[in-house]
Structure 1
Amino acid sequence: MLSPKQKAIWRKRLLSPTALFFLSALVTWPILSELEAFEVFYEFSRSQKSWEVDEIALLIFNLTIALGASVWYKSRALKRVLQRRELERERAEKNARHDPLTGLMNRRAFYEMIENLSNSGGTSKASLFVGLVDLDRFKPVNDVHGHSAGDVTLCTVAERLRKEMGQGGHVARLGGDEFVLVFAPTMNAADVERVARRMLSTIAQPIPFNEQSVFVGASIGLVHWDGSLGLSEMMRRADHALYQVKLSGRGSFAWYDSDADKQTLERAEIAAELKSAIRSDKITPYYQPIVKIGTTELVGFEVLARWTHPTRGNVPPFTFIPIAEDSGLIGQLGLSILRQACADAADWPEGLSISFNVSPIQFRDPALVESIRNVLQETGFKPQRLTIEITESSVIDDVLVARPKIEAFKELGIQIALDDFGTGYSSLSSLRSLPFDRIKIDRSFVTDISSNQQNQQIVSGILSLANGLALDVTAEGIETSDDLAYLQASTCSLGQGYYFEKPIPADQILWLLETEWAEHFVHASPAVKAVG
């Protein structure tokens, strides 16, 4: 127990300026520590006249308490900072690995999961199947109902996919309306197909939105995952399977087909080579004679595209023409062939014309008329010697758009023929409303016509129609003398086919006119006789 005198002494010391300074320092230590507290203390100590032992002891005691309090305060503050940083890191990690709209794994998380499975041997051939899902009719949802409806649709589809996958399966959103499925390792191919069918049915169910119903469908491409082939290759295969579904009409699923994949890869290779071939005029025009049926007088040639590839050999038109259309090269190809043909035919007798086929895709080009006019001017070929053949599918969709284009050609002096007549659905309507000069009977009705009564009736009806409309008629596909004899007995004006000559390159035209044609067909035109 301290005596009253001792208590008074300690009270005085505790209330002394020194004690009060350090007590205030204890309370404000965090602030003072930021303001270089030790320098403050040093300046204060120099202002004191003298230090007693008990004052030094009290100083040390206060310093110890202040230091402990400061350490405790700093540790608490540091802990809170670390906790905030950890929460932010976890939040950032979650956002980096999950789709913010649907909450599913995103592309990055899916790739990491697949790579981990591959590295751990979890992608053995008997254990893993992957499906690529693409929504059908999703774009109209955004266009008609707005992007809010699109978001609701994506979230609903994501939840339906997650539910159908069940335990052990995974669903990720790769972006847009594309999802990827990783089926449970316990599933076999039959299980996967059952789940895929359920998914297609579930996704097709109406999706409520603002007291309305939104409808979408889905297509699924399935692949038996082989991690040894690499992630990009397996995803390419899944995408190819999905592409096959879309080609077949959507709303179903398909497994990856290696044979179909090879064909697709070959088409891609041909498309790349085709672009270079068009630029360098490696695809050249061949010419098949067109004659008057009654006299076999040569009147012109149909221009046909031919491609002799340095390694593939002769690539048939039914292979490279569709590829040119699909890859957007058909316009360049058509103009290249026409330009070469006009340059070739400029040296032929004036009485010979050329017929050039324009594909439906090329016909829709707004600059087509101007492009052909430029080709004629460049080559000096007379428009009156050119006939443009268009198929009915070129004009059937929009006659109002086709009419001014056809009339513009006719103003240039170019003749217009309706190709493949008889194979369409509204040929009579097209003939009545558009100013054609000629129709061509499809070869399917002409070849072996002498022995096919049904084709005879069809051709007879076409000829009667053409005569009533004052149109010339070209029969293509004449293969035998019997076919020619039958047509000569009719009112058909022009013909072409292998009976007369197969398509030949430009360097054989003059030889044909001078020798073989004059020898086999006695009713040659004056122009041909002049050359001969």
Structure 2
Amino acid sequence: MGASQREKKQGHPKRLEDRLTGIPGIEAVHERVAAWQADTGRAPGGAHVHAMLLGLRRFEAINIAYGEAAGDGALDEVAARIVHFAGEELDGPWQLARAGGGAFVLVASEACSRERWQLVADQMADLIARPISVPTGVLRLSPRIALIRAVDGESVESMLDRLSHALEQASGQHGGRLAWADGEVTPPGRSSAQLEADLLGAIDRDEIEILFQPQFSLADDSLTGAEALARWVHPELGRIGAGALFTIAERADHVAPLSRHIARKALWAACEWPGKLRLSINVTPADLAFGSYVRQMLDLVRESGFPPRQLTLEVTEQALISDVTLAAQMMAEFSAQGIRIALDDFGAGFCNFRYLKVLPMHYLKLDRSMIEGVTSDKRDVAVLRAIVAMAKALDLEVIAEGIEDEAHRDVAAREGCAYYQGFLRAQPMSGAKFLKLAGA
């Protein structure tokens, strides 16, 4: 990533925090943009201030139909999804703020084209529109997003005013969910259909790059393996993260070939690793909905020659919402072959503990949000301690994600986590660099 993880993290001053979501108020956007505009030397590579205003259409109806507790929970989940998405997809520093009601503002100092910013917003809308499980049912939100590429020196007030008008436009459209602020038009370039067509040939052109995020033991900092991450190196748009990549693949009905391609490249690369390093591969909701996914994945493992007992499949709660029973059956088949299963991003959403009861899990992978406050907040430490105790009672090992400094690492180790990954020790890297790190 272009900026250090510490630079990219949001500022969360207590006086600005929204009591519900933990996200700062709009004052945080004023402060962050002012800092970017004042520091002319901190934005190399043509970085520019971009912003988006996200609103949830007819959000009031959720409170009426499901109750205010469900509405509050949905807002908390939306905030968590945006934070996680921004951390994964944006290269430069960014700031998320709550704008009141069901609205959020995201600003970023990002070196990207207007077209790329629109692609980010489109992916964000897809992410927010995915089902949200609440105690009273499953919610489906309808996000609308207004976009802006700020004029040099433009005030935050001006940006927010233009974004508000654009969001009103988007909210009044049937089927349309994105709108550019007044004075700007939807950027010319590749349409969604063209991007889908591009993706169909991306595998053959070898544009899908596999990076590896190293994982380490908390006991002695020894290298234990790596998580495989996919990136699309588009010849015109540049790097497209995994989230946007799979959204485009879903629209093109191309998830299965893409998933197989990523797994194949990762498995073949991991065959060169020394010792008994583990490979982790992410499983998407579309994978679990694909009837022959287990058979095809097991075929790839056999063809590659990578030991099944050194493979971990990481599954998010989002992937489990549609059919937990089917997911359990598929995971049991993998487990019978020695493949291990991790519940990924634990703590980022509603944490349905039923999954831990009915699914054959081996690892609990904590979302970075579960680690961020443990050095300064006793309640955060108490939550971490309780989760680790629960995991141990269920014979699950805990992996801490997003470890960025020694203080976080020390707390995770003290509280009983087994493994960690994060920028403290290593950023995502190419297969060749990972081999060098592994001493091969």
TM range (shorter): 0.5 to 0.7
Whole-Å separation in 1 of the counterparts to 2:346 and 2:208: 27
Q: 1:388 aligns with which of 313, 330, 335?
A: 313
Whole-Å separation in 1 of the counterparts to 2:275 and 2:204: 29
Whole-Å separation in 1 of the counterparts to 2:354 and 2:181: 44
Q: Tell me which amino acid in the other structure corresponds to 2:247.
A: P
Residue 286, structure 1, aligned to residue 215, structure 2? no
Q: 1:245 aligns with which of 135, 150, 174?
A: 174
Match of 2:303 in 1: 378
Whole-Å separation in 2 of the counterparts to 1:454 and 1:266: 47
Alpha-carbon shift at residue 294 of structure 1 (Å): 1.9
Alignment deviations for residues 495-531 of structure 1 (CA, whole Å, 9 cap, x no partner): 00011100101111222223xxxxxxxxxxxxxxxx5
Residue 456, structure 1, aligned to residue 378, structure 2? no
Whole-Å separation in 2 of the counterparts to 1:361 and 1:297: 34
Contact 1:438/1:473, CA 8 A, preserved across alignment = yes
Alpha-carbon shift at residue 313 of structure 1 (Å): 2.3
| SS of 2:333 mapped into structure 1 | helix
* Residue ranges of structure 2 left out of the alignment (5+ in a row): 1-168
Residue 273, structure 1, aligned to residue 194, structure 2? no
Whole-Å separation in 2 of the counterparts to 1:311 and 1:259: 21
Whole-Å separation in 1 of the counterparts to 2:182 and 2:300: 44
Whole-Å separation in 2 of the counterparts to 1:355 and 1:244: 42
Q: Tell me which amino acid in the other structure corresponds to 2:236.
A: T
Whole-Å separation in 2 of the counterparts to 1:336 and 1:512: 24
Alignment deviations for residues 265-296 of structure 1 (CA, whole Å, 9 cap, x no partner): 54433222122112333202110111111211
Aligned residues: 272
Contact 1:410/1:416, CA 8 A, preserved across alignment = yes
Q: 1:321 aligns with which of 216, 222, 246?
A: 246
Q: 1 or 2, which has the higher helix percentage? A: 1
Match of 1:332 in 2: 257
| SS of 1:377 mapped into structure 2 | helix
Contact 2:273/2:438, CA 8 A, preserved across alignment = no
Q: Tell me which amino acid in the other structure corresponds to 2:223.
A: L
Match of 2:362 in 1: 437
Whole-Å separation in 2 of the counterparts to 1:361 and 1:415: 20
Alignment deviations for residues 300-332 of structure 1 (CA, whole Å, 9 cap, x no partner): 100001222223222233332322233322222
Whole-Å separation in 2 of the counterparts to 1:308 and 1:290: 24
| SS of 2:313 mapped into structure 1 | strand
Q: Tell me which amino acid in the other structure corresponds to 1:492.
A: C
Whole-Å separation in 1 of the counterparts to 2:376 and 2:269: 39
Match of 2:417 in 1: 492
* Residue ranges of structure 1 left out of the alignment (5+ in a row): 1-239, 249-253, 515-530
CA 293–412 in structure 1, closer or farther in 2 if over 3 Å, else same: same
| SS of 2:423 mapped into structure 1 | coil
Match of 1:360 in 2: 285
Q: Tell me which amino acid in the other structure corresponds to 2:398.
A: V
CA 295–265 in structure 1, closer or farther in 2 if over 3 Å, else same: same
Q: Tell me which amino acid in the other structure corresponds to 1:246.
A: G
Whole-Å separation in 2 of the counterparts to 1:485 and 1:379: 37
Match of 2:404 in 1: 479
Give the TM-score of the pair, scaled to structure 1. Answer: 0.47
Residue 501, structure 1, aligned to residue 434, structure 2? no
Match of 2:336 in 1: 411
Contact 1:270/1:320, CA 8 A, preserved across alignment = no
Match of 1:167 in 2: none
Q: Tell me which amino acid in the other structure corresponds to 2:406.
A: S
Report 1 or 2 for greater relative contact order, CA contacts < 8 Å, sequence distance ≥ 6: 2
| SS of 1:246 mapped into structure 2 | coil
Give the TM-score of the pair, scaled to structure 2. Answer: 0.57
Residue 311, structure 1, aligned to residue 230, structure 2? no
Alignment deviations for residues 195-224 of structure 1 (CA, whole Å, 9 cap, x no partner): xxxxxxxxxxxxxxxxxxxxxxxxxxxxxx
Contact 1:241/1:256, CA 8 A, preserved across alignment = no
Alpha-carbon shift at residue 422 of structure 1 (Å): 1.7
Whichever of the two has the greater Rg, that structure is 1
Aligned residue runs from structure 1 range 76-115, under 5 A: none
Alpha-carbon shift at residue 377 of structure 1 (Å): 1.9
Query: Which segment is superposed worse, 467-476 or 319-328?
Result: 319-328
Q: Tell me which amino acid in the other structure corresponds to 2:175.
A: K
| SS of 1:451 mapped into structure 2 | coil
Whole-Å separation in 2 of the counterparts to 1:360 and 1:247: 25
Q: 1 or 2, which has the higher strand percentage? A: 2
Match of 1:351 in 2: 276
Whole-Å separation in 2 of the counterparts to 1:243 and 1:438: 45
